[in-house]
Amino acid sequence: MAHVNSNRKLTNSRAGLAMIGGVALLCSTMFASAQQRIMTITATEPMTTDHPYGESSAPVYSMWCHIYGCLGRYDHVANKPVGILAEKWEMIDPETWRFTLRKGLKRHDGGPGPTSRDVIHTLNRIRTDKESVHSSFVAMVEAIVPVDDLTFDVKTKGPAVNLVSALFDRFIITSADLFEKHGREADKKFAVGWGPYRLEEYASDRRAVLRKNPDWREVDGFDPMEAPDVVILQQMREPEQRVTALLNGEVQVARLIPPQLVRRLEGRKDVKVDKTGGIETMFLAFNNTMPPWTDVRLRQAIAHSVNRQLIVDRLLGGYALVQNGMVGPNQFCYTGKPDRVLEFNPAKAKQLLAEAGYKDGGPEIDFYTAVGRYVSDRQVAEAVAQMLRQTGFKVRLHTPEYANFWSEVRRGKSPFYYMGRGSVFDASDAAGQLYATGGSPRIQYSNPKFDELLKRQYAELDPQKRCQLWRELNQILIDDAPTHFMWTHSVITGLRANVELQVERSGEFWLPRSRMK
């Protein structure tokens, strides 16, 4: 059913043109007739719901952040946090952060700017809405206390030096007034906020169309008026399709170009290739409560069976950096190679299998991967499965649709799988989500020493001491192997020659600073 209001149209219909590239070209042609700058960007992640807290992926956070507005973002070029809806933030004490919202903002429908009441509403909805999957992001928050209309204190359950990085680009502020009036229908008919772009159309799992907010001004004075007037986020999961659409001029930005297709773009005068060191950590994950992964020897045997560097060199074209532990060279608090690592060692893998009772081969295991969500994910999983078979594991490889794959992982129902955790710059939030006792059900790992050190680093103000704690935390994760860390991909993005866009280490970009010549 199509939903229409005075600002834009939302549609969840899957009817229409069968060829996605044709849809993108049609949309561009329609908007271009008004002599506007149109930028079409390929999207690979699922866009299955108009609920602002209903999906968990960095690209979806970024989309809603551009529309509703977040407190801020991390500028990976300037290496500092910058405000979006917040203009100021400071630590009052180890368990209190004070934020001040920007003055003079107008909601896209002409309504008032964001207030402390909207921020409190956001926290409550993230925690209580049955469709919300963002509760882990605010797990450290005890309460949000208003100081005045534009100022509020975030009270944490314990010291939280990482609060700003944990909240900024994922804490999407929505209107308390609109939700009180319309409930869930506010997301469908009144998806208006205070961000730099307005939502013009949302077609579930096909595209989102964003139109520039003419009232937006950057906090630091950067003029966004030269940014694209309309941005189309067009679903294209197949890499070949993304590259062909870029070369044909149907899209201006093609994301997640796999290494084997980079050569098709290089040497062309009408396109260019951006290569950025990424911070999305890829890993082989175990559900630590499901046999046989309750046995650390088998988890370690998996690690010793996989030749990560060979996969990087042969399959990923060298466009990835092997990572030992959660914190690698591209991330905050990297202090050099860990003291102990689980390197490729088939003989050691076979020894561990024998010690665990599988001298003659086994166990039989089910291994799952997404397809088209991550760079060369199916091919990587096939290579890993073959390496595991060579050391004795009996592997059944499963490649479900991403929506089904992610649903099982998120509910803690997947025993062994390949995937990534995006935006791991400061690893504190991701570690709390994935490895702390009582975190998300994806991995179900528990280690009291890890919990104690993680709690200590949340409270440590001295960067050197905090990074030393992370060295210890990293070593625990390597030794216990609740996941086996693989690499961080280089973020490879194809751009039309007339596009200027800064691709950040997270793989995302801030649209007000993009340009079309």
Task: Map 415-473 to HEC letters.
Answer: CEEEEEECCCCCCHHHHHHHCCCCCCCCCCCCCHHHHHHHHHHHHCCCHHHHHHHHHHH
Give the chain's length. 517
Residues 6+ apart with CB under 8 A from 217: 223, 224
Which DSSP helix (H) or strand (E) runs through 483?
strand 483-496
Q: Can you tell me the distance from the alpha carbon of 459 to that of 317, in angstroms, rounded to the nearest whole number?
A: 41
Q: How many CB atoms lie within 10 A of CB 370?
A: 23
Contact 32, 25 (CB under 8 A): no
- Tokens at residue 307, please? 């030749």
Question: Does residue 490 sit in helix, strand or coil?
Answer: strand
Type of residue found at 322:
V
Q: How many CB atoms lie within 10 A of CB 193?
A: 31
Nearest to 284 by CA among 202, 201, 356, 370: 370
- Tokens at residue 227, please? 């940014």
Q: Can you tell me the distance from the alpha carbon of 467 to that of 365, in angstroms, rounded to the nearest whole number?
A: 36
* The predicted structure's pLDDT at residue 17: 31
Q: Can you tell me the distance from the alpha carbon of 402 to that of 443, in angstroms, rounded to the nearest whole number?
A: 18
Q: What angle do CA 112, 116, 121 make, to 5 degrees?
A: 95
Please give the sequence-ordered ranges of beta strands (E in DSSP) within 102-212, or none if there are none.
141-148, 151-156, 197-203, 207-212
Q: Are strands 364-369 and 394-398 parallel, antiparallel or unpaired?
A: parallel
Tokens 């010291």 correspond to 159
Judge: domain 2-252+498-516, CATH 3.40.309.10.
no
Type of residue found at 367:
F
CA distances from 174 to 88, 251, 277, 396, 496 (A): 19, 30, 32, 44, 34
Q: Where in the chain is the domain with CATH 3.40.190.10?
A: 2-252+498-516
Question: Does residue 499 sit in helix, strand or coil?
Answer: strand
Q: Which parts of the chain have pLDDT scores under 70?
A: 1-34, 220-222
Type of residue found at 124:
N
3-state class percentages of the chain: helix first, strand second, coil last, to nearest 5: 30, 25, 45
pTM above 0.85, yes or no: no
Q: Where in the chain is the domain with CATH 3.10.105.10?
A: 277-490
Q: How many CB atoms lie within 10 A of CB 313?
A: 13
Nearest to 308 by CA among 332, 334, 328, 336: 328
* Widest distance between CA atoms in the chain: 71
Inter-helix orientation angle 296-305/377-390, to 10°: 110
Q: Can you tell me the distance from the alpha carbon of 186 to that of 177, in angstroms, rounded to the nearest whole number?
A: 10
Nearest to 46 by CA among 288, 400, 320: 400
Judge: domain 277-490, CATH 3.40.50.2300.
no
Q: Can you tell me the distance from the alpha carbon of 191 to that of 211, in angstroms, rounded to the nearest whole number?
A: 13
